[in-house]
Amino acid sequence: MTSCRRETHITKAESSCILMIISEADAEGQVGQIYADILEIFGNVPVVYKALALKPEILERFWRLAETVFKSKTIPWNTKLMIALDVANSDGCVTCTGGYRAMLKDVGLSDTILNSVEERVVSPELDDSTQSVMVYAHAISKDPHDIDRNLIASFRRRLSDEKLVEIVSTINIFKSIIETIHSLALHEME
């Protein structure tokens, strides 16, 4: 029913894999339905969801929240992926950075834009609204306790309340994904 993806010549004792995961082939019932939903958005089932599937009720609730944020149209999907890349960069998740960078390349973003997100500089290729979103996202993903009140006020003038909530929700989802990946050593299973 479960599998730990690793090279066949490595034993469980030698592997840093600390738990088994439910593969797409083994997903049944509620987990299978959720995997189908995840496939629609990502084109694959990231390992974090395969690990959460060990507790279907947790997978269900986590995925429904993530799906709601991912499908909301206040901020475009490409911008959400840029936020994910920024969060991964802030958290030092090399595996996540590579994965989000590849997803952004797949949707047509240029290396100039990707490099600007990773270097946390404004890209002239981004429109003003996207630049504002990225500056705000970077400020709060780095340290939400250390944001200058004047900076917050300037964002409130430039971004709608709906965008601010969606930015924060997007950051929270991706931070949670990254924390789960690292806490369970799933980055070594990718």
State the Cα–Cα distance between residues 177 and 42, nearest whole angstrom: 14
State the Cα–Cα distance between residues 183 and 143, nearest whole angstrom: 20
Give the per-residue pLDDT at 20: 82
* In contact, 3 and 20? CB cutoff 8 Å: yes
Give the per-residue pLDDT at 7: 28
Give the per-residue pLDDT at 177: 92
pLDDT of the chain, 190 residues: tens digit per residue: 444 343 223 334 344 556 788 999 999 999 999 999 999 988 889 999 999 999 999 999 999 999 999 999 999 999 999 999 999 998 888 888 998 999 999 999 999 999 998 888 888 889 888 888 888 888 888 777 777 788 888 888 888 899 989 999 999 999 999 999 888 888 766 5
pTM value is 0.83
Which residue intervals of the chain are DSSP H helices?
29-42, 47-52, 56-71, 77-91, 94-106, 111-119, 128-142, 149-158, 161-183
State the Cα–Cα distance between residues 123 and 121, nearest whole angstrom: 6
Domains and CATH numbers, the chain: 1-71 (no CATH), 77-182 (1.20.1290.10)
Give the per-residue pLDDT at 188: 67
Query: Minimal CA–CA distance to 97: which of 117, 125, 124?
Result: 117
HEC profile for 157-168? HHCCHHHHHHHH
Tokens of 9: 């010549």
Which residue intervals of 72-93 are DSSP H helices?
77-91
